[in-house]
């Protein structure tokens, strides 16, 4: 049977990670896969995470299944992160949440639910994270793309975005990224979030927000401002939330699916459907990462320690952005890439061709995906002059 299969190419980002590891050259730079790194190129376990794990190890008495919803304390904490004060929704029974294997698990539930709602087409930003399109395709739904950013200015092209979405049909789905857009680093303004929410309501489009970098742009509160206003207007909506980056829990697969409906009856029905989708795929979510997050957020001292470390990571990335933008402006003699300094989070895109990225890798050991996306956290201050020099050759 298996002879009929042809091997697929490896995931472009994960493939790059392996290629970098296998590169034996002394000078090499990894700006590929999106994981946070410190200045020594290491992805550390956050100190609050290590402490929470010690507490869990000491206190846990069983490994029995937690049940389909996973960890209720974790879910409640993520509800507050996403919705702010969510008490009115909880009181009315309109909010549901479920622990998932990473943000990807939550996206999987959301796109699966879209399918059950009769969605035929899901709108994705152009560009977006390649896993979005893979997931939508794999679920058997069609993809449509909305314009997102203007590469010349490095900002959102909101007029084109709204023009694209004027072609949506009632009952289409849309995925909208929260803070720190992957791969552009270009985020919507608060007013744009509001306008976009009104459009989805007016046109009967079913939204899912994908929040994977909470706290990486400007701070835990400011990062959610736009998304929270969106969710106040688009009251029939879903959210996928990932703790992979902001808690550094990548391999623990820690995420949350959230949904709000107009009525309690509808919210309860949503819960049964997402539980059914999870049961027929991965069955139940992993417990460890969610327990870590719940332990940290439930303990004022651990929470403060985590927030301080998160702030340190964010400040480091902001500093690297500014340094790279300055170096690129200096090396190219053009202001075109100055906007990098104003973009958010772990990623930005530089305007180079896929061939150029291949040449950067082969000739200079500079690893970035064909899209020209750079992982800001993969930079080191001491490498920036050299990296800017290599990039300038292709800009
Ligand atoms: N959504 C976006 C845009 C991402 O970049 C990521 C990446 O890590 C995720 C979702 C979810 O990741 P994970 O499943 O590792 O939590
Ligand atoms: O965009 C990134 O690099 C991260 C990590 O299949 C990632 O989101 C990349 C590819 C993938 C899963 C995670």
Q: Which domain CATH number covers 312?
A: 3.90.1150.10
What is the reported pLDDT for 309? 98
Task: Walk along the chain (395 residues) and give the pLDDT tens digit of each residue.
Answer: 999 999 998 888 888 989 999 999 999 999 999 999 999 999 999 999 999 999 999 999 999 999 999 999 999 999 999 999 888 899 899 999 999 999 999 999 999 999 999 999 999 999 999 999 999 999 999 999 999 999 889 999 999 999 999 999 999 999 999 999 999 999 999 999 999 999 999 999 999 999 999 999 999 999 999 999 999 999 999 999 999 999 999 999 999 999 999 999 999 999 999 999 999 999 999 999 999 999 999 999 999 999 999 999 999 999 999 999 999 999 999 999 999 999 999 999 999 999 999 999 999 999 999 999 999 999 999 999 999 999 999 99
* Last-in-domain residue among 281, 298, 315: 298
The ligand 2 atom at the shortest distance from the C-alpha of residue 32 is 3
Are residues 225 and 354 located together in one domain of the fold?
no
Per the structure, the count of domains in the chain is 2
**212 and 264 part of one domain:** yes
Just list the catalytic residues. 129, 210, 245
| In a domain? residue 2 | no
Residues 170 and 277 in one domain: yes
Residues 95 and 208 in one domain: yes
> For a pocket test of ligand 1, which of 212, 246, 376 has the largest count of ligand atoms closer than 8 A to its C-beta?
212
How confident is the model over 165-177, as pLDDT tens digits? 999 999 999 999 9
Atom of ligand 1 nearest to the CA of 254: 16
Q: At what angle do helices 384-392 and 354-364 cross, to 10 degrees?
A: 130
Joined tokens for residue 215: 């706290």
Q: Is 3 part of any domain?
A: no
pLDDT score at 374: 97
Domain of residue 257, CATH code: 3.40.640.10
**Residues 139 and 250 reside in one and the same domain:** yes
With a Cβ cut-off of 6 Å, ligand 1 is lined by: 34, 102-104, 129, 177, 182, 210, 212, 242, 244, 250, 255
- ipTM reported for the complex surpasses 0.95: yes
CA of 13 to the centre of ligand 2 (A): 6
Ligand number nearest to the C-alpha of 244: 1
State the pLDDT at residue 7. Answer: 94
Q: Which of 244, 206, 230, 265 is nearest to 100 (CA)?
A: 244
Buried b vs exposed e over 37-74: b needs ≥16 C-beta within 10 Å? Answer: beeeeeeeebebbebbbeeeeeeeeeeeebebbbbeeb
Q: Token pair for residue 30?
A: 């990894």
- Looking at the chain, the number of H-run helices and the number of E-run strands are 14, 13
CB 28 within 8 A of CB 361: no
Measured in Å, residue 32 CA sits from the centre of ligand 2 at 9
The b/e string for 10-26 (b: 16+ C-beta within 10 A; e otherwise) is eeebeebbeebeeeeee
Same domain assignment for residues 90 and 234: yes
Pocket of ligand 2 (CB under 6 A): 11, 13-14, 33-34, 129, 131, 182
- Please check whether residues 72 and 204 belong to one and the same domain: yes
**The model's pTM:** 0.97
Distance 219 CA to ligand 1 centre (A): 19
Indicate whether 15 belongs to any domain. yes
From residue 96, give the alpha-carbon distance in Å to each of 123, 176, 259: 24, 19, 5
Final residue before a domain boundary, out of 247, 277, 298: 298
Tokens of 234: 């688009």
Q: Which of 262, 282, 298 is the last residue of a domain?
A: 298
CA distances from 262 to 89, 143, 259 (A): 9, 27, 10
pLDDT at residue 303 in the model: 98
Q: What is the pLDDT of residue 87?
A: 82
Predicted pLDDT of residue 11: 83
pLDDT value, residue 19:
93
Domain holding 339, by residue range, is: 10-45+302-392
Task: Using alpha carbons, select from 197, 216, 186 the residue that is nearest to residue 126.
Answer: 186
User: Does residue 60 fall inside a structural domain?
Assistant: no
Cross-strand pairs, 144:
123
């Amino acid at each position: 049977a298996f002879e009929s299969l042809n091997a697929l190419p490896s995931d472009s980002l994960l493939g790059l990670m392996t290629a970098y590891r296998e590169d034996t050259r002394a000078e090499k730079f990894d700006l590929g896969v999106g994981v946070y790194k410190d200045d020594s190129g290491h992805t550390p376990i956050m100190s609050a995470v290590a402490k929470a794990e010690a507490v869990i190890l000491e206190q846990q008495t069983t490994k029995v299944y937690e049940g389909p919803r996973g960890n209720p304390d974790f879910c409640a904490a993520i509800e507050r992160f996403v919705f702010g004060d969510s008490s009115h929704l909880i009181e009315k029974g309109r909010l549901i949440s479920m622990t998932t294997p990473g943000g990807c698990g939550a996206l999987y539930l959301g796109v699966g639910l879209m399918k059950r709602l009769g969605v035929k087409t899901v709108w994705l930003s152009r560009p977006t994270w390649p896993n979005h399109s893979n997931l939508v395709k794999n679920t058997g739904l069609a993809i449509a793309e909305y314009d997102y950013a203007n590469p010349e200015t490095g900002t959102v092209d909101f007029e084109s975005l709204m023009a694209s979405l004027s072609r949506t049909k009632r009952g289409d789905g849309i995925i909208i990224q929260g803070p720190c857009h992957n791969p552009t680093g270009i985020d919507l303004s608060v007013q744009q979030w509001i306008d976009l929410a009104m459009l989805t309501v007016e046109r009967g489009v079913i939204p899912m927000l994908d929040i994977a970098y909470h706290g990486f742009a400007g701070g835990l509160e400011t990062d959610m401002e736009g998304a929270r206003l969106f969710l106040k207007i688009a009251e029939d909506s879903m959210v996928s939330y990932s703790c992979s980056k902001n808690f550094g829990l990548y391999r623990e697969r820690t995420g949350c699916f959230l949904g709000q409906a107009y009525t309690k009856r509808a919210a309860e029905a949503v819960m049964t459907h997402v539980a059914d989708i999870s049961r027929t795929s991965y069955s139940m979510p992993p417990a460890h990462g969610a327990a870590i997050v719940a332990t940290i957020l439930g303990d004022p001292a651990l929470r403060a320690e985590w927030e301080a470390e998160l702030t340190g990571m964010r400040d480091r990335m902001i500093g690297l952005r500014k340094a790279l933008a300055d170096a690129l402006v200096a090396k190219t003699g053009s202001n075109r890439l100055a906007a990098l300094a104003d973009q958010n989070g772990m990623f930005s895109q530089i305007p180079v061709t896929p061939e150029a990225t291949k040449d950067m890798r082969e000739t200079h050991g500079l690893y970035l995906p064909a899209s020209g996306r750079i992982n800001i956290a993969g930079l080191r201050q001491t490498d920036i002059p050299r990296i800017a020099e290599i990039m300038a050759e292709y800009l």
